[in-house]
Amino acid sequence: MDKPPIVIGRSFYARWLPRHLPIRYKLLMHFLLITILPSFALGILADLVTNRVIERHMNANTLQLISKVNRTLEFYADSVQNTTYYISDNPQVRRFLRGEPLSRESRGEALDFLRGFSTLQTEIAGIMVVNAEGDYLSNDMYGRSSMDLTREKWYQEAVAGKGIFEMIGHPYGRNVTTHANYKEAEVVSAVRAVLDPDTQRVLGVVLIDLKLRVIVEAAKDVRLGKTGLLFVLDEHGDPIYVPKQLGFETIPLRWLGGQSSGNFVETVNGRKLQFMFLKSSFTKWATIGAFSTSEAAPEVRQIRLFVGAFMFGVCLLGITASFVLSQGISRPIGRLMTFMQRAESGDLTTRYWGDGMDEVGMLGRSFNSMLTKINDLMSLAERQEKQKREAELRTLQAQIKPHFLYNTLDTIHWMSRKRGAEDVAEMVEALSRLFRIGLSKGGEFIPLAEEFEHVRSYLKIQQLRYRDKLRFELELEPGIAHVPVLKVILQPIVENAIYHGIKERRGPGRITVRGFREDDRIVLSVSDDGAGMDERKLALMRERLEHPAGETPDASAAGYGLSNVQSRLLLTYGDPAFGLRIDSRPGAGTTVTIAYPIQREEI
């Protein structure tokens, strides 16, 4: 019985369209909706667009006024900044900042110099120059107490600015006042640290108080609508100038959203207000306009007159076009669906025919390509499965013989011990261990330590056979002795090294078997100092290892054992990056390296 299809998600249209409605009817309904709905939406859209245009123009005009006020404030701030430079460049002030003692005449000249700025720039309420020792020069300002002025917050802010001019707002709570007795809310302060040009050491700070009236005069005459007003906040949200008519002193900085300019609507004290703001990159102050949203200028909307006639024409044209388009789109899709149903029933020889260059034609050609690849993959899977079964059969056959011989050899071993034939007993014991590990209870994987023990037993047997001609050395890192490995993969390589390396050389030879970890893989190497191979034979062996399944097994061939090991590794790990690698030089020996990955649970 066929299972019902699993529905992953449903589109907006699928919520009200029947699920099993043919696609041509769905397309027809969609096209009709697409043509009719815009006609009804046109009136609403016209109204919205008109309101948007009017609002955009109002916002642009308001922002222009705010920008004008901002430029005025920046002009005064720039003037104060230039004043700090003029003051710090005065020779007498420079000597005072460097801590040099000033004579009465020099101090008088410096004070007259400072008073000159107050005379020429009436917006300046007071100037004070404080050096690094806490001494100060001022035209009209003095410390309230003997407290060190270098500990003042405004002094520390200037030092932290490292010579950058900074407007710090109203001077609440500072230990400085003026002879004119300006209130803290009647002035705003600006500071700049003076640095030694050679050492960049802070020599002192120039403090200037600016009269608030220059900000009031710049902002009070600007009107936004009937009741809208401007107010100014510093970078921390503290008020610089806020008219009493607004009914509030400040707004949360989060309303500005961290932007340099923009607009938003918020309700304050029960009134819905629209705010427009512009931040100054120089003073870091925000000039904000606030006005009631009900003051937006009403405009006559006359864009709804032609909607009726337009709707009739659009609907007539849309119905005709919808029938034609739905039929043209659904016919190729239905034909492709027929071919897919044939493939679903098991006929993988079916093919879509059509020369269309649209998406349906491309989908049909992709469908044909998919069927071809499916056939190829099925053939490949059959071949791989056959090769795997053959390898398993060969492994099983290799295990049957050791199982029979193991019991027999165990009996021969104890009989040899009993009769004093120690050399025979030693060889039989090594051969018995060789078969026992090779059998390994039918398992395909054994620990690396057992694989090395298996090779050791084999080499002992060969050493008894060849006497002084063969020496061997086994090295295995202790930390990887427990890591599983395909059984009996080293013995064929060692056998190949003896018969085609050590045996072909003159005098005794040595075989070294090593096992170590390299990143996330295990590396096993078998090296001999035998006859080696020339380039032609080495290339032939490497080619055989690249295509182990394509070679015909030949028991007399030197590379059959290596090809068998390579086939097992490829069938197990499936990655050509893991497997055998051969390096050899004539007269210098041969090294065969095996690499395979460490599974996470093996670490």
pLDDT surpassing 70 at residue 41:
yes
Least confident of 309-323, 369-383, 503-517: 309-323
Mean pLDDT of the chain: 78
Least confident of 3-7, 44-48, 293-297: 3-7
At residue 525 the predicted structure's pLDDT band, cuts being 50, 70 and 90, is: very high
Least confident of 23-37, 90-104, 337-351, 529-543: 23-37
User: 396 vs 101, which has greater pLDDT?
Assistant: 101
pLDDT surpassing 50 at residue 240:
yes
As a whole number of angstroms, the distance between CA 74 and CA 281 comes to 9
Q: By the 8 A CB rule, do 226 and 219 touch?
A: no
As given in the structure block, the two tokens for residue 37 are 């709905």
User: What is the four-CA torsion angle of 234, 240, 243, 249, rounded to 10 degrees?
Assistant: 60
pLDDT at 54: 65
pLDDT surpassing 60 at residue 18:
no
> CATH assignment of 444-602?
3.30.565.10
Residue 485 corresponds to which amino acid?
A: V
pLDDT at 553: 44
Least confident of 40-54, 112-126, 140-154, 507-521: 40-54
Q: By the 8 A CB rule, do 262 and 277 touch?
A: yes
N residues, the chain: 603
> CATH assignment of 90-216?
3.30.450.20
pLDDT at 443: 66
pLDDT surpassing 60 at residue 495:
yes
pLDDT surpassing 50 at residue 182:
yes
> pTM, whole model, 2 decimals?
0.44
pLDDT surpassing 60 at residue 218:
yes
Phi, psi of 553 (to 5 degrees): -55, 130
pLDDT at 7: 44
pLDDT surpassing 90 at residue 513:
yes
pLDDT surpassing 50 at residue 564:
yes
As given in the structure block, the two tokens for residue 152 are 């003042």
Least confident of 16-25, 34-43, 250-259: 16-25
Least confident of 4-8, 158-162, 489-493, 598-602: 4-8
360 half-sphere exposure, CB direction, 13 A CA radius: 17
User: 24 vs 187, which has greater pLDDT?
Assistant: 187
Cite the residue boundaries of each domain of the chain with CATH code 3.30.450.20.
90-216, 223-295
Dihedral sign for Cα atoms in the order 370, 375, 380, 386: positive
Residue whose entry in the numeric block shows the structure tokens 């100092």: 529
**pLDDT, tens digit, 9 for 90 and up, residues 59-72:** 777 888 888 888 88
Given its phi and psi angles, is residue 172 left (phi above 0), alpha (psi -120 to 50 degrees) or beta? beta
Cite the residue boundaries of each domain of the chain with CATH code 3.30.565.10.
444-602
User: 128 vs 440, which has greater pLDDT?
Assistant: 128
At residue 5 the predicted structure's pLDDT band, cuts being 50, 70 and 90, is: very low
CATH superfamily of 223-295: PAS domain (3.30.450.20)
As a whole number of angstroms, the distance between CA 258 and CA 260 comes to 7
Q: Across residues 493-504, what is the average pLDDT?
A: 86
Cα of first residue to Cα of last residue in the chain, in angstroms, is: 47
pLDDT surpassing 90 at residue 328:
no
